[in-house]
């Protein structure tokens, strides 16, 4: 079965930190060695919230009890189908963190996030989350690992070269 172009991503918050996933375990991983949030592809018939809750449970062992839909991200990358990602934050959960077969889970101080090995576009939506921006639509275009275009709520953003 073909993978859904719809995905979820969640940043779980606790005591000024986000739970981050360092993708170091999977071979041929587009996210290899990068730090990302928790999430994945929709399964047939799932709503965004059902996908979110299932992915968080599968990857962390946690059950979210409170979460907020913060934005929608459109990813366009050479050689890949367009992906539409529902971005969430969560601040309450139950359970204990288990092993993740996709990488290492770690609580990271929000102030330290930007110093991690992230996708360039992730830095844009992290800033929006930290600024508590209202619901947003962000389009990110990549050539290989390089961000070539970012459009926030229909307006092109100036890209800053961070290399």
Q: In whole angstroms, what separates CA 141 from the centre of its chain?
A: 15
The model's pTM: 0.90
Distance of CA 145 to the CA centre of its chain: 16
Domains and CATH numbers, the chain: 6-156 (3.90.79.10)
Q: pLDDT-derived band of residue 102, with 50, 70 and 90 as boundaries?
A: confident
Q: Which 3 state secondary structure label does DSSP give 14?
A: strand
Cα dihedral 61, 16, 39, 157, rounded to 10, equals 180
- Is-contact 20 116, C-beta < 8 A? yes
Grade residue 140 by pLDDT with cuts at 50, 70 and 90: very high
């Amino acid at each position: 079965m073909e993978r859904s172009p719809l995905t979820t991503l969640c940043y779980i918050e606790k005591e000024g930190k986000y739970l981050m996933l360092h993708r170091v375990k999977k071979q041929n991983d587009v996210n290899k060695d990068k730090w990302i949030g928790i999430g994945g592809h929709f399964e047939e018939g799932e709503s965004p919230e059902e996908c979110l809750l299932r992915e968080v449970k599968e990857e962390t062992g946690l059950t979210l009890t409170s979460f907020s839909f913060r934005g929608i991200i459109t990813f366009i990358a050479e050689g890949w189908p367009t992906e539409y990602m529902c971005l969430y934050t969560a601040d309450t959960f139950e359970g204990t963190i288990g092993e993740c077969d996709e990488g290492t889970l770690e609580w990271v101080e929000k102030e330290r996030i930007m110093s991690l090995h992230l996708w360039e576009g992730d830095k844009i939506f992290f800033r929006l989350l930290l600024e508590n921006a209202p619901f947003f639509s962000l389009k990110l275009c990549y050539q290989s690992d390089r961000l070539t275009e970012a459009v926030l709520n229909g307006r092109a953003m100036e890209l800053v070269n961070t290399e």
